[in-house]
A = this chain, B = another copy of it.
Amino acid sequence: MSNQITLYQHGTLALLVPGLLKGTITLGQLLKHGDTGIGTGEGLDGELIILDGKPYHVHATGDVTLAPDSFKMPFANAHFARYTPLAELENVDEADLNKQMVSLSKAQNTFFSIEIHGTFSSMQTRAAVKSNPPYKTLAETAENQSVFTRKQIEGTLIGYYSPQLFEGATVGGFHHHFISDDHKFGGHVLDFHLDKGNVSYQLFDTFEQHLPVNDKQYMQHDFSKDDIENSIHQSE
């Protein structure tokens, strides 16, 4: 039971802001904490979405491959899926859907995940372009990301909601990734319009925050000078 109510996170959104982008957890290690999740590769190498234990890596080229267990990440979330159906929705855009999710789940003060499977009349995603040391800041990476759009696409959106109190460690509010049913299109969700889909959700009572304490650069960094909140809002 207990592993179904825990959202695991390695790293923080805040460490991406100044470009602490070294991979500090492997996919193999992450998968011990869940069969479902999201993340990004070392150097902000694209976008990861894990569905049914399968880790789809959306590259900046738009290509999607399965990532190996050795794939390293500076930031990732994972949990063991046990979603409960919440609603069947039609003709709804992202802002409206996010609002409905908070109101239907009554869970704005805890962490939860949503899964939407359906037909999206439009889906806009992005994939970050990998940088090498010295890594770029999150703002610099955001200036040079690949943006993809598809019309009438079927697929699955995995999203995490975090209470505003945890903004900085997480994205306060929603953070969605997407993968198409044919596994050829996906990424970090920028915007969408859902034609018709089933929405389910999973509530967590525990947020397990794991920090990269063996990474000297992380441990020595002075975060007090980073404008974390603004940078997250502009980039996410």
CA distance in complex: A14, B172 (Å): 15
Cβ of A163: which chain B residues have Cβ within 8 Å of it? Answer: 223
The contact string, 1 if C-beta is below 8 Å from chain B, for chain A 150-191, is 000000000000011110110000000000000000000000
Partner of A109, one of B168, B203, B207, B211: B211
In the complex, besides A106-B219, A110-B211, A206-B211, 11 extra interface pairs with C-beta distance below 8 angstroms are A14-B165, A107-B219, A109-B220, A109-B221, A110-B219, A165-B228, A166-B169, A205-B210, A206-B208, A207-B208, A207-B211
Whether A213 sits at the interface, judged by CB under 8 Å, is yes
**Residues A208 and B211 in contact, CB atoms below 8 Å apart:** no
How many chain A residues touch the partner (CB < 8 A)? 31
8 Å CB interface, A202-236 against B = 203, 205-213, 218-221, 223-224, 228
CA distance in complex: A107, B212 (Å): 11
What residues make up the interface of A, taking CB atoms closer than 8 Å to B? Answer: 12, 14, 106-111, 163-166, 168-169, 203, 205-213, 218-221, 223-224, 228
